[in-house]
Amino acid sequence: MSDSQVSAPRCVALVGSYLSGKTTLLESLLHACGAVPRKGTVKEGNTIGDSVPEARARQMSTELSVASAEFLGDPWIFIDCPGSIELAQETFNALMAADAAIVVCESEIERAMTVAPILKFLEDHEIPHCLFINKMDTASASVAEMIEALQAVSSLPLVLRQVPIRNGEHVTGYVDLASERAYEYKPGEASDLIELPDTMVDRKETARTELLEKLADFSDTLLEQFLEDVVPEKSEIYKDLAKDMAEGLIVPVLLGAGLSDHGVRRLLKLLRHEVPHAAATAARRGVAPAGEALAQVFKTSFVPHAGKLSLVRVWRGEIKDGMTLNGARIAGLFRMQGHNIDKAGSAGIGEVVALGRMDEINTGDVLTPSGEAKDELTWPERLVPVYALAVEAENRSDEVKLTGAIGRLAEEDPSLALEQNADTQQMLVWGQGEMHLQIAFDRMANKANLKVKSHMPRVAYKETIRKSISQHGRFKRQTGGHGQFGDVHIDIKPLPRGSGFNFSQTISGGVVPRQYIPAVESGVKDYMNEGPLGFPVVDMAVTLTDGSYHAVDSSEQAFKQAARIAMTEGMSKCDPVLLEPIYMVRITVPSAYTSRAQRLISGRRGQFLGFDARPGWKGWDEVSANMPQSEIRDLINELRSLSLGVGTFTYRFDHLQEITGKLADQVIEQRQAAAG
Ligand SMILES: Nc1nc2c(ncn2[C@@H]2O[C@H](COP(=O)(O)OP(=O)(O)O)[C@@H](O)[C@H]2O)c(=O)[nH]1
Ligand SMILES: [Mg+2]
């Protein structure tokens, strides 16, 4: 590597489940680096990580946040990520910009499963990562139990790097297993080096042997020494630890407590020695070492006054303000520290900067002066939306602005999507859950001063008929000059499910002149928008069999009316029945929750179809079922609450199904009440 590559900043993302302590840990890391004079707290709402208003209001991170610091002369960029599973898209996108990730874990073994989705993402994308078991100040389980629980959700071997020193209930320090040194924690300061306590000698030996055993799996030298009982050189161990983490062979595990600054310097040292440099990450991502400047957008943000900002990580060369990348001219190049942005002139490899007013540029785009690499680097897929709300502007006058404002939200957050639903005529915003959408609406209120009302989307009920009938319809008016006359006989008959609608005619001898037949069809179709029960009608056929006309008074309009009259009178005699949309649903959960998922399905009028191992996910199942649309609108809430938040589902429309009895009566009553 060249000097500029070695001195380039490395970028680490803080990820892990909601409330595990990422934002607090970032504050402690920045403090230990001297980047903030005084630590902020999540409660007081003055942390670097949670600087936007939506985050402060909720005391939780609602979007990623970038901060820089220097440790022992090395520049670092930290990206604090939201932990909520509903905001996972933002986190996944941030990880694509990072050289490595710190997975912040709770010290409770029951919550180990919550990091499963993030570990799976890191493994799939081969992103080097370590675990930081946080909140050791309140831990009750033993470290061995925690490692066991976490190992069950990690496909890569976990390598414990420290063992805690306890005084009664309290963790007071740790023994570092690579250096074999013991430390005592000191709040707000570097830990004190202490004599290894006698009581720790055996524990340390066992844990260190385990560590060496794991490393020996990836090193012939270590394996030989291990078998021959030779104690390896420390330098050899350090070299292997760094290589194995960078190559994604092992996952080191550290202990600490961000709130009390415990283990934070040890973590910084691990990062210093073991996190790959930007050039190595660029190579891993598939960027050739030589060539024009290249950066990838990992977040898009609309900022009042400044306009659109595209956050990029530079993977090659140098990017300067005013440069044209992918046809867009950079209008302002900024470095970020939480909410603060500072103008800069240029940015080199490894740096994270925001580019101003790149209007045509999207998150995930690869930017180069030639614009030829746009889709060259992999990018995470959009998460499948699992929850929708119907929205309207609180002020009617804002209605026209709404589509544009939601469009910008979706540009900032690709896991949001807008749908104009043709069946129900509602504007739907799709996302990852109630909270995800509410945060997006708050952001729209804060940034665009546009407030919305939201409610549960309507179900796309339909109706059909069960009996055939022949019906006569006549429209006759005599007003002043010439009148209006149309007269039709139609056969109405049900069709099998899924057939849709079919119109035909058996007119002979011109009793209904050819030019009026399309008007009859259009009158029938008009009627079908709202059948006798109040819903669109499907799966039926209408045949025009007979009729009559008047040479002067007949018109298209008159035949259309005649058809409507025949339909209105005929349809209610055809034994109408409500149809409800049924979806094919695939629920994915850790297998410990499979039987609960089955109960969830039957509790929501679902039909269980079977289950299988989830492909590519060790210890997970995929449960298939048919479920009514009305029951899956808020399915995600219950599914998450029974599966520690990690369960999810996909769905597609399958068929319409007759629904009768009390449930159908309620639906019809509600529809009639709404229609007034
Ligand atoms: N006991 C203890 N609590 C902590 C620690 N770190 C964070 N917390 C608390 O955990 C909660 C969540 O912290 P936060 O940093 O917002 O978590 P995040 O959602 O992962 O960013 C806050 O109430 C913190 O005060 C720790 O090391 N020990
Ligand atoms: Mg946070």
Same domain for 36 and 183?
yes
Report pLDDT digits (tens) over 153-195.
999 999 999 999 998 888 999 999 999 999 999 877 889 999 9
Indicate if 481 and 548 belong to the same structural domain: yes
Q: Which two tokens stand for residue 65?
A: 């946040």
CATH label of the domain that carries residue 232: 3.40.50.300
Mutation probe of ligand 1 site: the residue of 15, 17, 18, 19 with most atoms within 8 A of C-beta: 19
Q: CB of 259 within 8 A of CB of 40? A: no
- Span 517-533, average pLDDT: 97
How would residue 51 be classed by pLDDT, with cut points 50, 70 and 90? confident
CATH of the domain at 401: 3.30.70.870
Q: CB of 40 closer than 6 A to ligand 1?
A: no
**How remote is the CA of residue 27 from the centroid of ligand 2, in Å?**
10
Find the 199 Cα to ligand 1 centroid distance in Å. 31
Position 305 confidence tier, pLDDT thresholds 50, 70, 90 = confident
Band of pLDDT at residue 150, cut at 50, 70 and 90: very high
Confidence check: pLDDT of 98 > 80: yes
380 is a domain residue? no
Residue 73 shares a structural domain with residue 222: yes
How confident is the model at residue 71, as a pLDDT?
97
> What per-residue confidence (pLDDT) applies to 494?
98
Q: Is the CB of 108 under 6 A from ligand 1?
A: no
What letter does residue 35 receive in the DSSP assignment? S
Measure Cα distances from 184 to 72, 176, 257 in Å. 21, 11, 13
Q: Is 22 in the pocket of ligand 1 (CB under 6 A)?
A: yes
Q: Is 133 in the pocket of ligand 1 (CB under 6 A)?
A: no
Query: What's the pLDDT at 227?
Result: 86
Minimum mean pLDDT range among 7-16, 85-94, 300-309? 300-309
pLDDT at 307 over 70: yes
Asked if residue 376 belongs to a domain, the reply is no
Q: What is the pLDDT of residue 1?
A: 61
How many CB atoms within 10 Å of residue 59? 15
Cα 264 to averaged position of ligand 1 atoms, centre (Å): 14
pLDDT tens for residues 339-366?
A: 889 999 999 999 999 999 999 999 999 9
Expressed in angstroms and rounded, the spacing between residue 54 Cα and the centre of ligand 1 is 18
Predicted confidence (pLDDT) per residue in 402-425, tens digit: 999 999 999 999 999 999 999 899
Looking at the domain assignment, is residue 416 inside a domain? yes
- Which residue among 23, 24, 30, 52 has the greatest number of ligand 1 atoms within 8 angstroms of its CB, and so is best to mutate? 24
Q: What's the total number of domains in the chain?
A: 5
Q: Is the distance from the beta carbon of residue 266 to the nearest atom of ligand 1 less than 6 Å?
A: no
Note whether 344 and 197 are same-domain residues.
no
Cα 260 to averaged position of ligand 1 atoms, centre (Å): 10
Please tell me the distance from the alpha carbon of residue 157 to that of residue 249, in angstroms, as a whole number.
7
How many percent of the chain have pLDDT more than 70?
99
Mean pLDDT of all residues in 535-541: 97
**Could you give the CA distance from residue 108 to residue 106 in angstroms, rounded to a whole number?**
5
In a domain, 72, yes or no: yes
- End-of-domain residue from the set 455, 476, 508: 455
Answer whether residue 373 is part of any domain. Answer: no
Q: Is the CB of 20 under 6 A from ligand 1?
A: yes
> Would the CA dihedral through 362, 364, 367, 372 be positive or negative?
negative
pLDDT value of position 602:
97
Residues 431, 551 within the same domain: no
Write the CATH number for 560. Answer: 3.30.230.10
Q: What is the pLDDT of residues 459-493, one digit of tens each?
A: 999 999 999 999 999 999 987 778 899 999 999 99
Query: What is the Å distance from ligand 1's center to 112 Cα?
Result: 16
Residues 75 and 159 in one domain: yes
The pLDDT score that the predictor gives to residue 189 is 82
Instruction: Indicate which atom in ligand 1 lies nearest the CA of residue 16.
Output: 20
Same domain, 397 and 363: no
Which ligand 1 atom is the nearest neighbour of the CA of 256? 27
pLDDT of residue 304: 79
pLDDT band at 387 (very low <50, low <70, confident <90, very high): very high
Give the Cβ contact number of residue 289 at 10 Å.
11
The terminus-to-terminus CA distance of the chain in angstroms comes to: 74
* pTM across the whole model: 0.93
Tens of pLDDT, residues 198-218: 999 999 999 999 999 999 999
Residue 61 Cβ inside 6 Å of ligand 1? The answer reads: yes
Check whether residue 357 and residue 500 sit in a common domain: no
The per-residue pLDDT of the chain, averaged, comes to 95
Characterize 199-236 residue by residue with b for buried, 16 or more Cβ atoms within 10 angstroms of its Cβ, and e for exposed.
Answer: ebeebbeebbeebbebbbeebeebeebbeeeeebeeee
**Pair 79, 123 in one domain:** yes
- Domain check: are 621 and 555 in the same one? no
455: left (phi over 0), alpha (psi -120 to 50) or beta: beta
pLDDT at 229: 86
Confidence at 124, pLDDT banded by 50, 70, 90: very high
pLDDT in tens, 239-265: 999 999 999 999 999 999 999 999 999
SS3 450: coil
Ligand 1 centre to CA of 332 (Å) is 35
Atom 17, ligand 1: residue with shortest CA distance = 21
On the question of pLDDT at 91 being above 80, the answer is yes
Q: 445 with 499, same domain?
A: no
Domain enclosing residue 500, as ranges: 463-574
End-of-domain residue from the set 574, 598, 624: 574
Same domain, residue pair 259 and 150: yes
Mean pLDDT of 626-654: 97
Nearest to 116 by CA among 16, 249, 264: 16
CA 36 / ligand 2 centre spacing (Å): 17
Q: Is 175 within the bounds of a domain?
A: yes
Task: Specify if 372 maps to a domain.
Answer: no
Please state the rounded mean pLDDT for residues 527-546. 97
